[in-house]
Amino acid sequence: MRYGYFDDGAREYVITRPDTPLPWINYLGNQGFFSLISNTCGGYAFYRDAKLRRITRFRYNNVPHDDGGRCFYICDGDVTWSPAFLPAKTPLDTYRCRHGLGYTVFEGEKQGVKAELTVMVPMGAACELQKLTLTNISDEKKQLTVYGAVEWCLWNAVDDSTNFQRNWNIGEVEIEGSTVYHKTEYRERRDHYAFYSVNAPVAGFDTDRDTFLGRFRGWSDPQAVEQRISYNSKASGWAPIAALRLDVSLAPGESRSFLYRLGYVETPREEKFSAPGVIHKTRAHALLSAYDTVEQYDKALNELKAYWTGLLGRFTVKSSEEKLDRMVNIWNQYQCMVTFNMSRSASYYESGMGRGMGFRDSCQDLLGFVHLIPERARERIIDIASIQFPDGSTYHQYQPLDKRGNADVGSGFNDDPLWLVACTTAYIRETGDFTILDELTPFNNEKGTEAPLLEHLRRSVNYTVTHRGPHGLPLIGRADWNDCLNLNCFSNTPGESFQTCSNFESGKAESVFIAGMFVKYGKEYAELVDRLGLRDEAKTVLAAVEEVETAARTAGWDGEWFRRAYDAFERPIGSKENDEGQIFIEPQGFCVLAGIGGREYGVKALASAQKHLGNDYGLEVLHPCYTAYRDYLGEISSYPPGYKENGSVFCHNNPWVTLAYCTLGDGNGAFDLYTRNAPAYIEDKSDIHRTEPYCYSQTIAGRDAQNYGEAKNSWLTGTAAWSFVAVSQGILGIRPDYDGLRVHPCLPDSMDGFTASRIFRGVRYGITVRRGEKKGLVVDGKPAVGDLVPLSAGPVCTVTVTI
Ligand code: BGC
Ligand code: NOJ
């Protein structure tokens, strides 16, 4: 069953009823100011950091799930309704929500009034704009009372939801005409404030939430709205809001637009006040006058649309597979931007208060983003490398505002360092910019420790070389990619972190997955330094790679598949010797794509993965699921069977297997797996899948779960980047390389070819792939060698591949 449809021409997903199984959200903003917005206009806004600069309030775990956000009420006679259905909950005559790229439109109609509400964050400005257009489609005059309201968060989202003894005393606002300024803590150490404003004279306002809502009421039925009045309340402590009331009269056929602006402003410390205690508002006024008219708004929306047209135009495909095209051309790339911006910080499932930016997460997100805006990827690589320690290990996370490593979680996730190699080589292959390697980058953000980025990569590689266990495999540390396989701590205390409790440091537990990573990225590093003329270093690294490869082929091989790990007592994990958790997906994907054991092991490993892990939605993490908690395995066994790391389809690692199929030249295998969980392909199952059909979710419950097929944790997952890599570089086979673009498709029998357009190092490559007798590559009319399209002088280059 579906709840809407894709409109590819407009690059929108159109939701046709408000009662989607879960809130279906969109992200607004590309840099700086960000908003989340659901299909009923819920969500929240923040500036740069979802924990430390939260602008509007959101209650996770609330009932109903999606209450609050942007609250619009249209009062028409006795009826009160909201254009996006919530919060008023009045059934609408018509409802549509169109999620587009960086904007969302709601179209609601009720008893002769049509409302169109378009919400966006304009390029380069720290504000969210909401354009509300009301049209009288009846043949009578309409006298409407219209409210627009937001609830302020007192900036630090953690403090806001915990420290009430203080917070219920500190809320402060200023009111100036049709603008409410939120200035809590501005009197003391904050140099920033927010505002909510409408571009028309208000008939009244409220800034104290409980006055506006009234006792025993919520956002669905505020007392002020019921009475069609405002109390002109001035918040002092408690919960400050901004609720703006307009009186609107509309003749039959008449249409009027109002522009609401939710803005964020930083002031230099010496210019904070215009009079004692009064905000200096020049910057707010400038923002308001930049977006004061419908023309200015429409221009900003057009700019945003043009921006996305430009970005997505960097990689487009046209094939016989409409759904593949839709994912590649629109939604997968869009999600790559969102994950690049957010890492795992802020969604409807990630509270934005905890994890900040993940080291491994951000490195991997970059793989799907680097072709879009390489300059931002470059900056990010330096930020990430700056939280590395001198010994090559890294902090696991950092907070985007201060970019400092998060000491609560610390380091010890032994896959982390190698992801830095992965993203840096991807960046250089995309851009040809070797100068990034010279960039002086500190360790642990400490002044005076700066070393060229290349030195960071070197230490990453050396970290694995020098941290190997009894079988010669890399030591796993607290965990590798699978955060929940915790082999070096034995937690039996409720509530303790499985990852950071340190009560048992075996120094022995090993990871076959990291072995796969090391073979792949160790080779990539060796190739890189070889290109820099550091031949001896390349040789030394390759020798270590060979040792690890051998260890993975012997101690890491179980006969029919790759083992997962060795535990603290040197016992294999992910082996037929185990009673549960006999086979895991991660090493099948990574060891095969790294080429360990060649074709023979590869074919066997993937066949075993299909046989034991395969379900309708992809490959599960492991099989059989753990049925009871085992302290020597950690969090993985804490989940009921079929959920999360204990046997769901953890979508992130499925594309590794897709790529592994491509390594083996198995196009049918690759495509089959790709389509099992690519959102557009499972849109028809939206009632089972439940999360948005236009973006990937982290997990899909496995066969052992009660709700088999139900997805959770949509949006912020490494699945976005890896799926894009798998489909664009694996299946379509368009791969950036140091000396040019490689085109090496791995298509299923059902596809005869495709055309693609790819901007690479400033040149537009027009690529045609087709089946035919005379195999090979033709570049600008001339036959070329192998699969390499040499760098072209541009501006366009025509490539034909016959397969
Ligand atoms: C989740 C993992 C996550 C980890 C660290 C666990 O509870 O299952 O997916 O990586 O927490 O935040
Ligand atoms: C989600 C985390 O963000 C990611 O870093 C990790 O690899 C996966 N969970 C698997 O545990």
| Under 8 Å between Cβ of 286 and 280 | no
Cα of 758 vs centre of ligand 2, distance in Å, is 30
CB atoms within 10 A of CB 689: 23
* Ligand nearest to the backbone CA of 497: 1
The token pair at 333 is 């790339």
User: Is pLDDT at 505 greater than 90 in this prediction?
Assistant: no
* pLDDT at res. 794: 84
Question: Considering only CA atoms, which residue is closest to atom 10 of ligand 2?
Answer: 482
* pLDDT at res. 782: 96
* Ligand nearest to the backbone CA of 364: 2
Cα of 698 vs centre of ligand 2, distance in Å, is 9
Cα of 260 vs centre of ligand 2, distance in Å, is 38
* pLDDT at res. 706: 96
Rounded to the nearest integer, the mean pLDDT of the chain is 97
Question: Considering only CA atoms, which residue is closest to atom 3 of ligand 1?
Answer: 483
Q: Ligand 2: which of 343, 416, 481 to mutate, judged by most atoms within 8 Å of the beta carbon?
A: 481
Percentage of residues in the chain having pLDDT higher than 90 = 96
* Ligand nearest to the backbone CA of 622: 2
Report the distance separating Cα 187 and Cα 303, nearest Å: 37
Question: Considering only CA atoms, which residue is closest to atom 5 of ligand 1?
Answer: 483
Question: Considering only CA atoms, which residue is closest to atom 10 of ligand 1?
Answer: 483
**Which residues' Cβ are closer than 6 Å to ligand 1?**
355, 483-484, 635, 644-645
* pLDDT at res. 111: 97
Cα of 207 vs centre of ligand 2, distance in Å, is 41
Higher local confidence (pLDDT), 177 or 403: 177
* Ligand nearest to the backbone CA of 362: 2
Nearest alpha-carbon partner for 323 in 722, 781, 748, 683: 683
Ligand 2 atom at shortest distance from the alpha carbon of 360: 5
Ligand 2 atom at shortest distance from the alpha carbon of 344: 3
Angle, alpha carbons 484-593-552 (nearest 5°)? 65
**pLDDT band at 502, cuts 50/70/90?**
confident
Active site residues: 483
Q: Determine if the peptide bond prior to 494 is cis (ω within 30°).
A: no
Cα of 782 vs centre of ligand 2, distance in Å, is 46
Cα distances from 167 to residues 162, 172, 184, 191, 524, in angstroms, run 9, 11, 9, 18, 52
Chain mean position to CA 794: 33
Cα of 150 vs centre of ligand 2, distance in Å, is 33
Cα of 483 vs centre of ligand 2, distance in Å, is 6
Report the distance separating Cα 479 and Cα 412, nearest Å: 8
User: Is pLDDT at 401 greater than 90 in this prediction?
Assistant: no
Ligand 2 atom at shortest distance from the alpha carbon of 650: 10
Report the distance separating Cα 625 and Cα 387, nearest Å: 35
Task: State mean pLDDT over 400-416.
Answer: 91
Cα of 483 vs centre of ligand 1, distance in Å, is 6
| Under 8 Å between Cβ of 730 and 288 | no
Q: Ligand 2: which of 483, 498, 648 to mutate, judged by most atoms within 8 Å of the beta carbon?
A: 483
User: Is pLDDT at 404 greater than 80 in this prediction?
Assistant: yes
* pLDDT at res. 501: 85
Question: Considering only CA atoms, which residue is closest to atom 5 of ligand 2?
Answer: 361
User: Is pLDDT at 18 greater than 90 in this prediction?
Assistant: yes
Task: State mean pLDDT over 465-480.
Answer: 98
| Under 8 Å between Cβ of 1 and 9 | no
Ligand 2 atom at shortest distance from the alpha carbon of 361: 5
CB atoms within 10 A of CB 382: 17
The pLDDT tens digits for 251-273 are 999 999 999 999 999 999 999 99
Ligand 1 atom at shortest distance from the alpha carbon of 698: 9
Q: Ligand 1: which of 359, 419, 621, 645 to mutate, judged by most atoms within 8 Å of the beta carbon?
A: 645
Report the distance separating Cα 775 and Cα 772, nearest Å: 6
**pLDDT band at 73, cuts 50/70/90?**
very high
Q: What are phi and psi of 218, to 5 degrees?
A: -135, -165
For the whole model, what pTM was predicted? 0.98
* Ligand nearest to the backbone CA of 653: 2
* pLDDT at res. 399: 85
Cα of 411 vs centre of ligand 2, distance in Å, is 15
* pLDDT at res. 231: 98
**pLDDT band at 144, cuts 50/70/90?**
very high
Chain mean position to CA 4: 22
Cα distances from 148 to residues 72, 247, 422, 652, 700, in angstroms, run 5, 12, 47, 39, 37
Question: Considering only CA atoms, which residue is closest to atom 7 of ligand 2?
Answer: 481
Question: Considering only CA atoms, which residue is closest to atom 11 of ligand 1?
Answer: 483
Ligand 1 atom at shortest distance from the alpha carbon of 355: 12
User: Is pLDDT at 350 greater than 80 in this prediction?
Assistant: yes
Ligand 1 atom at shortest distance from the alpha carbon of 645: 8
**pLDDT band at 503, cuts 50/70/90?**
confident
Ligand 1 atom at shortest distance from the alpha carbon of 499: 5
Cα of 573 vs centre of ligand 2, distance in Å, is 19
- 178, 184, 189, 195: CA torsion to nearest 10: -30
Task: State mean pLDDT over 114-121.
Answer: 98
Element (H, E) at 109: strand 103-110
Higher local confidence (pLDDT), 454 or 407: 454
Q: Ligand 1: which of 359, 416, 419, 483 to mutate, judged by most atoms within 8 Å of the beta carbon?
A: 483
Least confident of 156-170, 321-335, 392-406, 789-803: 392-406
Task: State mean pLDDT over 58-73.
Answer: 93
**pLDDT band at 402, cuts 50/70/90?**
confident
Task: State mean pLDDT over 471-478.
Answer: 97
* Ligand nearest to the backbone CA of 643: 1
Report the distance separating Cα 396 and Cα 384, nearest Å: 10
* pLDDT at res. 35: 98
User: How many alpha carbons fall within 13 Å on the CB side of residue 290?
Assistant: 18
The pLDDT tens digits for 692-722 are 999 999 999 999 999 999 999 999 999 999 9
Cα of 80 vs centre of ligand 1, distance in Å, is 43
User: How many alpha carbons fall within 13 Å on the CB side of residue 719?
Assistant: 26
- 554, 556, 557, 561: CA torsion to nearest 10: -160
* pLDDT at res. 702: 98
The pLDDT tens digits for 580-595 are 999 999 999 999 999 9
**Which residues' Cβ are closer than 6 Å to ligand 2?**
344, 358, 360-361, 481-484, 645
Q: Ligand 1: which of 355, 635, 639, 650 to mutate, judged by most atoms within 8 Å of the beta carbon?
A: 635
Report the distance separating Cα 401 and Cα 255, nearest Å: 42
Percentage of residues in the chain having pLDDT higher than 70 = 100
Element (H, E) at 519: helix 512-531
Higher local confidence (pLDDT), 249 or 403: 249
Q: What is the C-alpha R_g of the chain?
A: 27
Ligand 2 atom at shortest distance from the alpha carbon of 645: 11
* pLDDT at res. 701: 98
Question: What single string gives the DSSP state of each residue in 229-291?
Answer: ----B--BSS-EEEEEEEEEEE-TT-EEEEEEEEEEEE--GGGSEEETTEE--HHHHHHHHHT
